[in-house]
Chains A and B, each alone.
Chain A
Amino acid sequence: MRKGVMRPGHVQIRVLDVQEALAHYRDLLGLIEVETDSEGRVYLKGWTEVDKFSVVLREADAPGMDFMGFKVLDTTTLASLESALKENGIEVEEIPAGELNGCGRRLRFVAPSGHSFELYAEKEQTGKWGLSKVNPEAWPRDLKGMKATRFDHCLLYGTNIQQTYELFRDVLGFDLAEQVVDPEGNKAAVFLTASMKAHDVAFIDCPEPGKFHHASFFLETWEDVLRAADLITMTETSIDIGPTRHGLTHGKTIYFFDPSGNRNEVFCGGDYHYPDHEPVTWTVDQLGKAIFYHDRVLNERFLSVLT
């Protein structure tokens, strides 16, 4: 049952060189550069996103994900989710309003998978970039690179997938949209949604906690995905795989890496989910087809290359 979590709101990514990373996320993905804060963190967003920022780049000596944040309906919802987390024995750290520029009070906790998540209710709304709020045109004309429209989801690798799934389902109100199960019925992967999307966050079972597989950005069309592939080659960007289609979610996709080795995805299309839908199930023996629908073979890199 939904509990008032609306959408993925932000992801803070650690990078080895913030200027190189900015060039990648701004000029290649086409995210909009918003500002740099007093700590040197760089804020960006997709042009269709109404909130001030969705991607934060922080320079550090090891790449990976610092945290992923979800926006909830309002401050009352935030308070009730805070109580629910604590009642379930989850330690909650309060991050004061303004610690990220333009973002209200955040509640941070560590999931059993080893990843840090945040909930918040308020963020400055600057509107869609380059469009007027009334009688808006179809798109702004001066977008760069892949013209990524929004930060869409993260795929995370970690431990205790079943407990993580139960936390997201029971406390945060996510639905299980898609899953991979082994012959004993254990979940090897869970794709969770707080919306109609096939995933707002996904987890794959891994012996090491807290690993980052990718942050994903939405494009409108298959043509846009092919054009993204052209840009990856033109810029000699590190490619992972694609363009191809996933079995899971059926999205059309390409994977590549930022200059610090964090994986990115741009994709289009894919399944939708309503709360009365049964989860879509893939079996572990069909994992190759589940991940890469055309090759039907899993490349080892998809499972072992993480930050």
Chain B
Amino acid sequence: MGERYRIAVENSEEQFHCSADTTLLVGMERAQNQALSVGCRGGGCGVCRIRVLRGEYERKRMSRAHVSEQEEQNGVALACRIMPRSDLLICADPSEHAKTSANQSDNNNA
């Protein structure tokens, strides 16, 4: 297991620890934390999109339908595709596509 880092969520009490060899999303699930929505865990659906406000991380390829090249440069990422290299401060930033579908599911559940 790699080094463990503290992941804090902006404007909330939420925080969890994630090791360097684990993606943020899986680290969050293992810590029994529910700060972010869990989707495909593979960089495809955009549900776990976040903005990293502070800290270093390594990233794997993620869907361009949800994170543009410029957004990626500006700290937007899918939590299921990045691994921490320092303590991080993040905030949730769900993809527009994912939001549309989630609203649809609310309607269907009503």
Query: What is the interface of chain A, defined by CB distance below 8 A to chain B?
Result: 16-17, 61-64, 157, 188, 206-208, 211, 238, 257-263, 284, 287, 298, 300-301, 303-307
Question: Does B75 have its Cβ within 8 Å of any Cβ on chain A?
Answer: no
* Residue on B nearest A61 in the bound complex, by CB: B64
Given A16-B63, A304-B47, the answer on whether A257 and B41 have CB atoms closer than 8 Å is: yes
Beta-carbon contact of A304 and B98 below 8 Å: yes
Q: Is the CB of B45 within 8 A of A261?
A: yes
**Interface mask (B45-69 → A, CB under 8 Å = 1, otherwise 0):** 1010000000000001111111000
Query: In the assembly, what is the distance between CA of A257 and CA of B64, in Å?
Result: 18
Which one, B4-12, B85-93, B100-108, is touching chain A? B100-108
Residues B108 and A287 in contact, CB atoms below 8 Å apart:
yes
Interface residue tally of chain B, by bracket?
Answer: 20 to 34
The answer to whether A62 and B64 have CB atoms under 8 Å apart is yes
* Contact, CB under 8 Å: A304 / B42: no
**A298-B103 Cα distance, complex, nearest whole Å:** 14
Residues of B near A261 (CB, < 8 A) are: 39-45, 63, 80
* Distance of A301 Cα from B65 Cα, bound (Å): 18
Query: Which residues of B lie under 8 Å from residue A64 when comparing CB positions?
Result: 44, 65
Are the C-beta atoms of B104 and A206 separated by less than 8 Å?
Answer: yes
* A211 cross-chain contacts in B, Cβ below 8 A: 101
- List of B residues within 8 angstroms of A63 by Cβ: 42-44, 63
Extra pairs beyond A303-B105, A305-B47 (20, CB < 8 Å): A64-B44, A206-B101, A207-B100, A207-B103, A208-B97, A260-B43, A260-B63, A261-B40, A261-B45, A301-B38, A303-B101, A303-B104, A304-B39, A304-B104, A305-B39, A306-B97, A306-B101, A307-B44, A307-B45, A307-B63
